Amino acid sequence: MIHAAITGWGKCLPPAVLSNHDLSSLLDTSDEWIVSRTGIRERRISHVGLEELAYVAAARALAAAGIPGGSIELIVFGTCSHEDQVPNMASGIQVRIGAQPAAAFDINTACTSFLYGLSAATALIRTQVVRNALVIGAELISPFMDWSDRDVAVLFGDGAAAVVLEASEREEGLLAEKLGCYGEARETLRVQGMGGRYANRGVLYGITRWQFEGQEIFKRAVQGMSSACEDTLTRLNLKPRDVDLVVPHQANLRIIEAVAKRAHLPLERVYVNIQRYGNMSAATVPVALCEALEERRVRAGALLLMPGFGGGLSYCAHLVRWGSRTTPLKSSTVELPPNERPALQIIRECLERKTRPSAAAPATPFA
Ligand code: UT7
């Protein structure tokens, strides 16, 4: 049997930090509320576009694997904040890393896009369609944020990360997963203004209104992630005690704690970095994986469990056997262009662009 080992990993976090205190100058909110209800202390706001963030993460993952971009046979780009729908985001990365003529596709299941992409790429390696793959989770939520809505504006951040998968005869990489979706609850999270439904109706790019039922999403997230963890372990006849580290989607610290309790996973074996980045949607799990490796929380041969959930409402849990190497083979010299602007200034400039009067824009774009 052919497996798809994870041999490279890399992240790219934009440098501008938006703290809870910064947010309280824009919105009726407080550091105390945000920390106690979510665990989030700060998040990143990008000064560059989505492709640039993803490219830097990809270059770092390729260096960590010691593979030239030209050898990559498949690029899977997980995101819901596309810069372009056509051409897709993955083809832009193909050009940037020089991977012609690799297969390249985008995948969108919102926050679970990286994990769904890991499933797709692993399947294509197991069936010998390709011998390796670059799987990206990258998200630029800030241009699509409704910065007047405190229910959502405090929760999200920008970021990117990527992994390299390579065919292996060793039992490494993705061992089992559960994928699911509560489609009947899809209206609990809808970003009005993103997508073809709004095209040619005079809605300015980036003008959004978030339909967001936080408490319902919270309940479904706990239910979906904990049941997916149990399902995945049962598939391989494993117990929670067999898991060395849980690397969960990070949307709310209280959700992570509730999932750990319901799935009988001790919190000391759960990796948490939500305090630094908030919810980066598709980038969250791969960034957390990179940081768990940097902090030496992943030992050679470790069994990792990665539960996720997102808009849709999609949910999943992936069980990964780590290989023998926990350090990168090489490091990349690729960097983001420098940034001088504080996060609040980036947001304010974005808001100015959005509110610039346009003859085409109707007064009530979502009517
Ligand atoms: O990847 C999918 C992304 N979605 C999620 O992960 C969302 C999951 N849901 C959650 O994480 C939580 O439901 C939230 C963090 C969104 C909200 O926490 P909560 O404990 O469910 O709070 P709540 O919605 O019940 O609101 C409690 C109070 C309300 O005031 P009243 O009605 O009690 O007077 C809100 O208006 O907190 C108020 N509130 C805020 N106050 C200060 C809501 N947002 C804020 C805010 N700052 N940012």
pLDDT in tens, the chain (367 residues): 999 999 999 999 999 999 999 999 999 999 999 999 999 999 999 999 999 999 999 999 999 999 999 999 999 999 999 999 999 999 999 999 999 999 999 999 999 999 999 999 999 999 999 999 999 999 999 999 999 999 999 999 999 999 999 999 999 999 999 999 999 999 999 999 988 888 777 777 778 999 999 999 999 999 999 999 999 999 999 999 999 999 999 999 999 999 999 999 999 999 999 999 999 999 999 999 999 999 999 999 999 999 999 999 999 999 999 999 999 999 999 999 999 999 999 999 988 887 765 555 555 666 6
Please pick, among 3, 82, 249, 318, the residue that the annotation labels catalytic: 249
Distance from the alpha carbon of residue 244 to the mean position of ligand 1, in angstroms:
32
Q: Which atom of ligand 1 is nearest to the CA of 151?
A: 44
Phi-psi region of 203 (alpha: psi -120 to 50; beta: other; left: phi over 0): beta
Q: Residues enclosing ligand 1, CB less than 6 A?
A: 29, 33, 37-38, 111, 150-151, 154, 214-215, 217-218, 221, 251-252, 279, 310
Q: Mapped to the 3 state alphabet, what secondary structure does 184-246 carry?
A: HHHHHEEEECCCHHHCCCCCCCCCCEEEECHHHHHHHHHHHHHHHHHHHHHHCCCCHHHCCEE
Is 264 assigned a catalytic role?
no
Q: What is the pTM of this model?
A: 0.96
CATH number of 1-367: 3.40.47.10
Nearest CA residue ID for atom 17, ligand 1: 214
Other Cβ atoms closer than 10 A to 17: 17
Query: b/e map of 284-305 (b: 16 or more CB within 10 Å)?
Result: bbbbbbbbbbeeebbeeebbbb
Of residues 289, 306, 327, the one with CA closest to residue 65: 327
Domain regions of the chain by residue span = 1-367
Mutate to test the pocket of ligand 1, among 30, 35, 36, 37 (most ligand atoms within 8 A of CB): 37
Distance from the alpha carbon of residue 33 to the mean position of ligand 1, in angstroms:
9
